[in-house]
Amino acid sequence: MQISLKGQVALVTGASSGLGAGAAQGLADAGAAVVINYHSQPEPAEKLAEQIRAAGGQAVAVGADVSREDEVEKLFAETLKAFGRLDILIANSGLQKDSPIAEMTLEDWNTVINVNLTGQFLCARAALRQFARQEIRPEVSLALGKIIHMSSVHQVIPWAGHVNYAASKGGVNLLMRSIAQEVGEQRIRVNSIAPGAIRTAINTKATSGDAEKKLLELIPYGRVGEAEDVANAVVWLASDASDYVHGTTLFIDGGMSLYPEFRNNG
């Protein structure tokens, strides 16, 4: 099936680098107009927007901290100003502040929960409010709107030394499923993507040299993922090719969530 997102507007949060940037590029390649949200790095976001425009696509970069209600409101207002509507939200912004539980500060706990979980709530809420003001355009998409939450394998795999992150992603799972249960009848599709180990800037240490060898023991498929692996899943989930997929988490992890430690054990 040929996937086209022509005539649709996608907002990707946290898109100045890594998975968000890959998703924005993938959506633009499929024909969507994209809003590239960034928090602290305007330059790479502007550069990506320029690249997309130079290739004949439509893109703008917009700064906002997704953990702040007023900034999320502004982000959505800018999206409407640029492209007049919203069809696809990729709630991707996320960060890690790692430490053993006994040393974890309340500030690091709150920062991770605020961005990774509250940020996804605020953006999903704003997207749903916008979808409610729009009509289905069956010639463009069978759904009134689509929300894709960026989760992680750590929505199911406990992660010592990262309890704030794992708790935030566990929260994303039931946030997504509860929203999906609530808004499905409005023909709004809500799903998550749960990446495993992907080669992005955040993971440079874990995905090179000896650390990579150790990491590969956790990945039955035998390779570290690339941002494009996730982008391909984002584009599919945002398109009518997945029109009957709703309230589900797609694991893009080379099998990391299969408990590979049990291959020769247990």
The residues that touch ligand BGC, with contacts defined as CB under 6 A, are: 152-154, 196-197, 202-203, 206
Residue 196 CB, nearest distance to ligand BGC (Å)?
A: 5
Residue 172 CB, nearest distance to ligand BGC (Å)?
A: 11
Where are any strands of DSSP class E within the chain?
9-12, 33-38, 59-63, 88-91, 145-150, 188-195, 249-252
Exposed / middle / buried, residue 260 (Cβ in 10 Å: 0-12, 13-18, 19+) = middle
Distance of CA 211 to the CA centre of its chain: 25
By beta carbon distance, the residue nearest ligand BGC is: 152
Question: Quick one: the chain helix, strand, coil %, rounded to 5?
Answer: 50, 15, 35
* Closer Cβ to ligand BGC, 67 or 203, answer by number: 203
The answer to whether 165 is a known catalytic residue is yes
Residue 165 CB, nearest distance to ligand BGC (Å)?
A: 7
* Closer Cβ to ligand BGC, 79 or 203, answer by number: 203
* Closer Cβ to ligand BGC, 87 or 253, answer by number: 253
Q: How far apart are CA 81 and CA 263, in angstroms?
A: 53
Q: How far apart are CA 149 and CA 158, in angstroms?
A: 19
Question: DSSP code of 116?
Answer: I
* Closer Cβ to ligand BGC, 36 or 153, answer by number: 153
Helix (H, G, I), strand (E, B) or coil at 148: strand
Cβ-contact 20, 14 below 8 angstroms: yes
Tokens of 71: 């900034």
Please pick, among 165, 221, 244, 259, the residue that the annotation labels catalytic.
Answer: 165
Residue 214 CB, nearest distance to ligand BGC (Å)?
A: 11
Cβ-contact 151, 193 below 8 angstroms: yes
- Among 183, 196, 195, which residue's Cα sits nearest to residue 247? 183
Residue 115 CB, nearest distance to ligand BGC (Å)?
A: 13
* Closer Cβ to ligand BGC, 28 or 256, answer by number: 256
Q: How far apart are CA 157 and CA 257, in angstroms?
A: 7
C-alpha distances in Å from residue 135, one per residue of 127, 143, 145, 161, 241: 14, 9, 9, 46, 20
Active site residues: 165
